[in-house]
Amino acid sequence: MKKLIIILSAVLFLTSCEEFLDINDNPNYPTDVSDELLLTSAEAAVTNIYCADWGLIGSFWSQHWAQNNTSSQYKNYETYAISSNTNVIERSYRSMFRDGLSDNEIFMQKVQENENWGAYLMGAVIKAYGFQYLVDLYGNTPYTEAFMGAEKLNPVIDHGEDIYAAIYQLLTDALSKDFHSYVPEIYEANDIIFNGDLHDWQAFANSLRLRILLRQYDANSSFAQQEISTLLANMEAENIYLLDKDVMVDNFEDADSKSNPLYETDQRQLNTTNNIKACITFTSYLEANSDPRLEVLFTPVDGNYYGLVPGSYNVPSTEFEAPKLIASPVIEPEMPVYWMTYAESELLIAEAYLRMGNTEMAQAYYESGVSESFARMGADAGDLLSGAYAFPTTGFDEQLKAIIMQKWIDAADGGRGIESHIERVRTGYPEESEISSQIDEGYTVPNDYIPGTLIYSKKGTSGGILPRRFPYADSELNFNSNAAEYKSLSDADVILQNVWWKN
């Protein structure tokens, strides 16, 4: 079983999934490929993009990580000088559609025709997961006509709000199907996330529904409030269930093209371990709170967990060499890729209860989420939940901040910074430092710096404003006539725009 999965993942990684079952090459859907293999292909492609592309840039923008001062691989992430044709922007967008979501669409078509509703739910979750990130990162994007091949070479660009409504309904409908005829053994070897366990897919679907609702809470409050209230009531009545485990792909090996996608792209293929270093924004917060997860997430130098100020990559090596001084994030070849952690799901429930006015339940799920984060990382929380991380007794803003800050910490495990970046845009947490201009390049900060507040990069090019989203992808702008209205927009302006749920 493992051999088949790893071989498929390796092929997908090496080819960037570009040659495998391209729906635009065959709009009538292939009939000679089993749906189990299509499922593996879709899951592997989404995993690669989420981890190696979006996870990487997100971890810089969330200030978990910083660019080493003796290398230059990711300088454009810390300058915020990304454009429509920046590799990570263009490649990941194209690959998500052409490889992950297109293969998944074929999978859904095949199992729907056979009324295989258990498998259909898997496809619905993958589709909703992928499109939520596409909207959160790129804004408006094709959806209704995205996979029509030659019939629609210029698919309509759907509004993010409409896509959110569509994927939420997709999940709701898929969860309502009759699953009695589902045979899990068929997918056990090819589902690289849950090994065909439908209970886990149902739980993931409901956790994802909750995340979709919370993301749009301010922009679509009446709908979000009603749906969250119903979801929580059904959860309490045990009519539905949310995640009780991590959603992860963990079939990696310490071998060429078989390892964790982030490790493979950043360290094995580039033949260096020195591109990425700890960021002082993050390490200062963990140190200030005596959080032992610091020792799990980073490798110290001479016992020190120094982090770099964002944008310090031009500090001459004659002043200091980061590899000999600055801590490095733990990035290992067999490290899992987490689509969503159990801890994140618990913290989502905590926020949901907080917004519904039930602070007692909010605290209970907050503490559960923090505890699960520590447990997954193998760290001891000690008395932090009654001390530095105690749930605030009053004040909605402070209580929400406590929840989101813990999501920020949890997302540093495995390089999931893209999720905490999006949450920062949505909630404003972590907050921005008020003294960014007074902080010099290097690895020290003034005494009045508040640990964990985001520092505008010393080489930032966005006028003192932290980036909020990605530019539109070059392939959409240049090859889809329906994207004409976006083509004249400046990339530098677009990255400072809000997506629909923040307007």
The gap from C-alpha 368 to its chain's centroid, in whole angstroms, comes to 21
Cβ-proximal residues to 325 (8 Å cutoff; 6+ apart), any chain: 301, 304, 306, 443
The answer to which of 102-106, 147-151, 392-396 has the lowest mean pLDDT is 147-151
Per-residue confidence (pLDDT) for residue 32, from 0 to 100:
64
Per-residue confidence (pLDDT) for residue 454, from 0 to 100:
98
324 belongs to a structural domain:
no
Q: How far apart are the first and last CA of the chain?
A: 47
**pLDDT tens per residue, range 433-480:** 999 999 999 999 999 999 999 999 999 999 999 999 999 999 999 999
CA distance 145 to 358: 41
* Interval 145-171 mean pLDDT: 95
CA-nearest of 194, 201, 250 to 47 is 250
Q: Structure pTM?
A: 0.93
- Structural domain including 50 reads 2-252+354-433+467-478
Residue 161 in tokens:
């709000």
Q: Contact 74/60 with Cβ under 8 angstroms?
A: yes
Per-residue confidence (pLDDT) for residue 19, from 0 to 100:
34
> Residue 252, SS3?
coil
* Interval 340-369 mean pLDDT: 98
CA distance 483 to 503: 21
Residue 340 in tokens:
């969503």
Read off the amino acid at residue 154: N
CA distance 348 to 364: 12
* Interval 137-158 mean pLDDT: 93
279 belongs to a structural domain:
no
Residue 17 above 90 pLDDT?
no
Per-residue confidence (pLDDT) for residue 150, from 0 to 100:
82
* Interval 97-106 mean pLDDT: 96
272 belongs to a structural domain:
no
> Residue 60, SS3?
helix
241 belongs to a structural domain:
yes
CATH number of the domain to which 384 belongs: 1.25.40.390
Per-residue confidence (pLDDT) for residue 245, from 0 to 100:
98
Paired sense of beta strands 157-158 and 247-249, if any: unpaired
367 belongs to a structural domain:
yes
CA distance 336 to 252: 7
> Residue 128, SS3?
helix
Per-residue confidence (pLDDT) for residue 222, from 0 to 100:
97
Give, for 111, the enclosing helix (H) or strand (E): helix 102-113
491 belongs to a structural domain:
no
| Buried residues in 277-288 as b, exposed as e (16+ CB within 10 A) | bbbbbbbbbbee
Percent of the chain with pLDDT over 70: 94
**pLDDT tens per residue, range 224-244:** 999 999 999 999 999 999 999
**pLDDT tens per residue, range 257-272:** 999 999 999 999 888 8
**φ, ψ dihedrals at 192, nearest 5°:** -85, 5
CA distance 136 to 269: 29
CA atoms within 13 A on the CB side of 172: 13
Burial of 11 (0-12, 13-18, 19+ CB in 10 A): middle
CA distance 479 to 472: 12
CA distance 175 to 108: 14
Q: Contact 422/467 with Cβ under 8 angstroms?
A: no
The verdict on whether omega for the bond into residue 451 sits within 30 degrees of 0, i.e. cis, is no
**pLDDT tens per residue, range 18-46:** 333 333 344 344 446 789 999 999 999 99
Q: What total number of domains does the chain contain?
A: 1
96 belongs to a structural domain:
yes
Q: Indicate the pLDDT class of residue 151, thresholds 50, 70 and 90.
A: confident
What average pLDDT is seen over the chain? Answer: 93
Q: Indicate the pLDDT class of residue 16, thresholds 50, 70 and 90.
A: very low
Q: Contact 262/57 with Cβ under 8 angstroms?
A: no
Q: Contact 311/460 with Cβ under 8 angstroms?
A: yes
Per-residue confidence (pLDDT) for residue 352, from 0 to 100:
98
288 belongs to a structural domain:
no
